[in-house]
Structure 1
Amino acid sequence: MADGVRTILGFPRKKGAAEPPVDPTLHALLEALPQGAALLDSAASILRTNAALRDMLGPSLPLRPGTPALSLFDPQARATLRPWLEQGGTTPLEAPLAAPEGRPPILALLRLAPLPAGRHLLLAEDLSERSRRREEAEAGERLRAIGQLAGGIAHDVNNLLAIILGAMDAAILAAPAAAPELRPAQDAAARGAALVRRLLAFARRQQLEPRVLDLDEAVAAAIPMLRSLLGPRIALEFRPAALGRRVRVDPVQLDQVLLNLATNARDAMAGQGTLTIATDTAISLQEEPGFPDPLPPGRWAVLDITDTGPGIRPDILPRILEPFFTTRANQGGTGLGLATIHGILRQSGGALQITSRPGHTRFRIHLPRHEAPAEHPAEHPATPAPTPLATTPPQAHILLVDDEAPLRRLAATALERAGHQVTQAEDGEAALELLESGLHPAAMISDIAMPGLDGMALARAARTHLPTLPIILTSGYAEAALGADMTREGINFLPKPYRPAQLVEIVASLPQTADGA
């Protein structure tokens, strides 16, 4: 056989001759393969690899001729792969490739095709995209279940907070000298309401309020809060370099991202180390790989949060964004923090990329740049003192409907102090019976989420008896999440937790009608 033919087919030239070079034709075929591929010699060492395989493994792993094929794979999988390679890989096998530094390994479907002269062609099909789609579908199902649970809990907590706020306002009105002692409890209830809004945002039951923000200014405003959170033994370095670039994001959610990541870093560093928060800009001309999100092409403002903790172990890095996955369950960890952050960034059109090694964990957040002028968020006002409820002659007859008895009694007391006559009903069915039996209130106030006949159904049924009846509906959910256009139906909305003075104020603003008596 001629030497040229021997070379093309991959046979050695003659017994005792050196390993022939790979023919350019075979090299071209190797490069044209869409999946990762490596040509192996009879000793399972690399002769040549293609660009697809080199891209999968990254630049940190040099693939020189003579490198053992086992070095392509994650160290924990090599014991299984050694006999598979020695036996010629008769069946396909799934195994993780060696991971680039700071990134989880890529799962690949491996096939080994025999060639002449004991050589083999190793094919590696990237399964990460298929796995990602499957995991996203499973995560979506979990998130829907979590959202339903979170929404129900949040509604109940808002009811409790409304009771607490109403009772404290009533106590201050009865004993003004107690106001300084009760003010911290009022502030705590207000903070609790803010936390519930975040929970509702996670459950997709809270209307978001994105604004165009200067990224450097928004992060700088949170730095004092973060210093207090981290404590004296953790150094906080802030390096603003976004050069006035603006992003469109809910400022409350941006604060939540910073607080959550700073808290995680503090716990990881065991209270001692350095947390660096930096901003920057970036332009991506093509999709860039990363975990958990690839970075799409675009113009970005970047937020980097880096800590000097022990790093995230490679075996748990792929799971850290799963809801309810936590390594600190015995310390009260819920596993919702990073899942919520990832959801916030996706809602804002951003991307999250995480790298970790001992002594260095970085969360790199990309947010789309916006050219519109910054909209400065309104400052959160301090908890106001309760407004004294003016006592006036009876003005209106109010039908008050709420299945939460303590809250219903507090609301009734506030309305009666303002001079109104109040008829209470414990649920929608009881309220409808009163209306059908001839009750003609001047207005109706009802909770929306009640067992049996809910507030929206009650409002529509009431309008069949009293077409112009003014109606106020209350809920622990945001109006936008309730799936009803209340403005179009002429219904007023009061979110929970409300304070008694707010309820009296909205009743005072209702128009007089001919229906009520």
Structure 2
Amino acid sequence: MAERRPGWLARRGGAPGEEFQALFAALPEGLALLDAAGLVQVANPALGRMAGPALPLRPGLPAALLLREEARPSFAALLSRALAGETPPPLAAAPADPLAAADTSWELAAEPWRGGGGAAGGALLLRVTDRTAALRAEARLATAGRFETVGKLAGGIAHDFNNLLAIILGSAAALREAGLTAAQAEDLGALEDAARRGAGLVAQLLAFAQQQPVAPLVLDLNAALRGMAPLLRRLLGGRIALELALEEPGRRVRIDPGQLDQLVLNLVANACQAMAEGGRLRLATGHAVVLRPEGEGPGGLPPGRYAVLEVADSGAGIPPEILPRLFEPFFTTRPEKGGTGLGLATVQGIVAQAGGQITVASRVGEGTSFRIHLPRQEAPAELPVGQEGAAPPEAAPVQAAPGPVLLVDDEAPLARLGEALLRRAGYQVVVADSAESALEAVEKGLAPAALVSDVAMPGEDGLALARRLRQRWPGLPVLLLSGYAESLVGTPPAAEGFRFLAKPFAPAALRQLLAEMLPGVAQSG
């Protein structure tokens, strides 16, 4: 006897609905037909795959078992309203499958089924859509927008904070030069150390925001890691073994050498904290070819050839509820131990700035692995400036006008400190609190020997002032100061023959640059 098909799969007139059955089976959306009691009568393969192997979808199975227990009352209400002829809004719920990811989310909709001439009176059509990928993409876009906002704020925060740190360090230097007792010098050293640590935090903010100045070079990744290995072994100590698994031939990447060091050191420091009782740290390199885009938005990986760096530890692992927040700035699981939440955010910023992607995989009790893809380079490896074996070309000498140094800064404390520092170094100084005041002094006859100016000021900025003075004195030495990263100044200052010094700076650095710009002008140190 031929198998009898349920009435709701038959067309009007009793013929089997073969076209409908084929469509029902082929749709990617999870579908099931339920009786009035909410029992599955038939389900398509897509819903079977969504339910997972732990729950075979057989006729008579209560459809509520597809969902976690806490969602079942809401699901029963959804079915009841659909049976009553209403159109209830879709229900968002998590599946009961124990193997499903923690963030898996389904959207369920139910409506009366009137197929087959009403032979299945009161039956329901259940539609189940897996919204997980879409929600993850939305979350990534929201996170990217939040990070972009923080990134924009970071530049302004850095400027103001660096100005404050410059005042602290400049005042400390003035006190030190005035003469101190040993106890006072020790106390002052603690203050200076705290200010420098603050400057380091600002640098991490800028790295996260991808706004710090960089000097990328083509580097041999294996050679760079071998060069770091002795330092890493000292950092890891005797209880953690370092294993290098470097694929040959080595691949080349384009990245700032200092940022590569910072990236690896941050990941290694994290691994150390995860292996308090000892363990094994593995640094491995490899390669990958991406044929189609992977991931969405700015964190995605476009097709191309990549060098791969993996940093894996045998530590305690990361709980799954923490993994999604791992790269958030200011998120830390160690606030009581001084954690700032900037380490991994900085790493992600560095990787993104180099055109790459970082991912993490972890299981509690089994360790953590960070995997970084960086675009491969075919050009020969380069050496940092000073290691090329040949002296860099000397800058062409400039003719300074006979006159004082023109110091321009709208921050009165910084202007006073700068003036005192330059006068102690033997320079004549004229101070202006804005570009407009400086230009007014020039119109009254001031012919400066050099310009030392803050960049960000109300009204005309320091860069525009430098250009206007250069029109009058083409060889005028110019030193620009800024609490912003050099990359935010606009056109690289060096491209216009300007020198740049980031705040906060050591007084000796300012004196050294001026000595290079104005050789023989200062009379005393």
Paired residues of 2:47 and 2:128 also in contact (CA < 8 A): no
Q: Write the deviation string for residues 447-485 of structure 1: whole angstroms up to 9, x where unpaired.
A: 112355532354466568878755432223343311246
Give the whole-Å Cα distance in 2 for the aligned partners of 1:304 and 1:95: 36
Give the whole-Å Cα distance in 2 for the aligned partners of 1:48 and 1:93: 19
Q: How many residues align?
A: 479
Q: Which residue does the alignment assign to 1:363?
A: 370
Instruction: Choose 351-360 or 466-475, whichever is displaced more.
Output: 466-475
Deviation at 1:86, TM superposition (A): 6.1
Change (3 A) 1:128 1:106: same
Could you tell me which runs of 5 or more consecutive residues in structure 2 were left unpaired when the two chains were aligned.
11-15, 83-87, 181-185, 388-400
Q: Which residue does the alignment assign to 2:432?
A: 425
Say whether 1:83 aligns with 2:85: no
1:241 maps to which of 223, 243, 247: 247
Deviation at 1:107, TM superposition (A): 2.6
AA aligned to 2:5 is: R
Question: For residues 168-207 of structure 1, what are the structure 2 equivalents within 5 Å?
Answer: 196-207=202-213
Q: Which residue does the alignment assign to 1:213?
A: 219
Q: Which residue does the alignment assign to 1:6?
A: 5
Give the whole-Å Cα distance in 2 for the aligned partners of 1:262 and 1:212: 23
Q: Write the deviation string for residues 410-430 of structure 1: whole angstroms up to 9, x where unpaired.
A: 644564466532222344454
Instruction: Choose 295-304 or 159-168, whichever is displaced more.
Output: 159-168
Q: Write the deviation string for residues 432-458 of structure 1: whole angstroms up to 9, x where unpaired.
A: 443344433233221112355532354
Change (3 A) 1:210 1:104: farther
Say whether 1:260 aligns with 2:266: yes
Change (3 A) 1:97 1:510: farther
Paired residues of 1:240 and 1:278 also in contact (CA < 8 A): yes
Q: Which residue does the alignment assign to 1:473?
A: 480
Paired residues of 2:31 and 2:125 also in contact (CA < 8 A): yes
Cα RMSD (Å) of the superposition?
4.8
Give the whole-Å Cα distance in 2 for the aligned partners of 1:326 and 1:121: 46
AA aligned to 2:143 is: A
SS class of match (2:328): coil
Give the whole-Å Cα distance in 2 for the aligned partners of 1:128 and 1:445: 56
Change (3 A) 1:351 1:97: farther
Give the whole-Å Cα distance in 2 for the aligned partners of 1:491 and 1:379: 21
Paired residues of 1:211 and 1:375 also in contact (CA < 8 A): yes
Give the whole-Å Cα distance in 1 for the aligned partners of 2:296 and 2:100: 10
Say whether 1:455 aligns with 2:462: yes
Paired residues of 1:291 and 1:354 also in contact (CA < 8 A): no
Paired residues of 2:111 and 2:126 also in contact (CA < 8 A): yes
Question: For residues 136-155 of structure 1, what are the structure 2 equivalents within 5 Å?
Answer: 136-155=140-159
Give the whole-Å Cα distance in 2 for the aligned partners of 1:136 and 1:169: 49
Deviation at 1:26, TM superposition (A): 5.4
Change (3 A) 1:470 1:249: closer
Give the whole-Å Cα distance in 2 for the aligned partners of 1:248 and 1:307: 26
Q: Which residue does the alignment assign to 1:17?
A: none
SS class of match (2:5): helix
Change (3 A) 1:507 1:281: closer
1:300 maps to which of 306, 317, 328: 306
Give the whole-Å Cα distance in 2 for the aligned partners of 1:235 and 1:291: 37
Instruction: Choose 186-195 or 449-458, whichever is displaced more.
Output: 186-195
1:96 maps to which of 94, 105, 110: 94
Q: Which residue does the alignment assign to 2:392?
A: none
Task: Return the TM-score normalized by structure 2.
Answer: 0.71
Change (3 A) 1:87 1:260: farther
Say whether 1:398 aligns with 2:405: yes
Give the whole-Å Cα distance in 1 for the aligned partners of 2:354 and 2:7: 54
Change (3 A) 1:324 1:84: farther
Could you tell me which runs of 5 or more consecutive residues in structure 1 were left unpaired when the two chains were aligned.
12-21, 176-180, 381-393, 512-517
Q: Write the deviation string for residues 384-421 of structure 1: whole angstroms up to 9, x where unpaired.
A: xxxxxxxxxx9642111234556545644564466532
Q: Which residue does the alignment assign to 1:109?
A: 107
Change (3 A) 1:488 1:300: closer
Change (3 A) 1:202 1:295: closer
Question: For residues 281-320 of structure 1, what are the structure 2 equivalents within 5 Å?
Answer: 281-286=287-292, 297-320=303-326
Identity of aligned residues (%): 45
AA aligned to 2:91 is: L
Q: Which residue does the alignment assign to 2:513?
A: 503
Give the whole-Å Cα distance in 1 for the aligned partners of 2:103 and 2:461: 51
Q: Write the deviation string for residues 191-231 of structure 1: whole angstroms up to 9, x where unpaired.
A: 87665444323233323333222223333333444444445
Q: Write the deviation string for residues 352-394 of structure 1: whole angstroms up to 9, x where unpaired.
A: 33333221333222223222222244589xxxxxxxxxxxxx9
Say whether 1:125 aligns with 2:129: yes
Q: Which residue does the alignment assign to 2:281?
A: 275
Change (3 A) 1:247 1:41: farther
Give the whole-Å Cα distance in 1 for the aligned partners of 2:33 and 2:241: 51
Give the whole-Å Cα distance in 2 for the aligned partners of 1:421 and 1:327: 53
Q: Write the deviation string for residues 147-177 of structure 1: whole angstroms up to 9, x where unpaired.
A: 34422343345443587389659968999xx
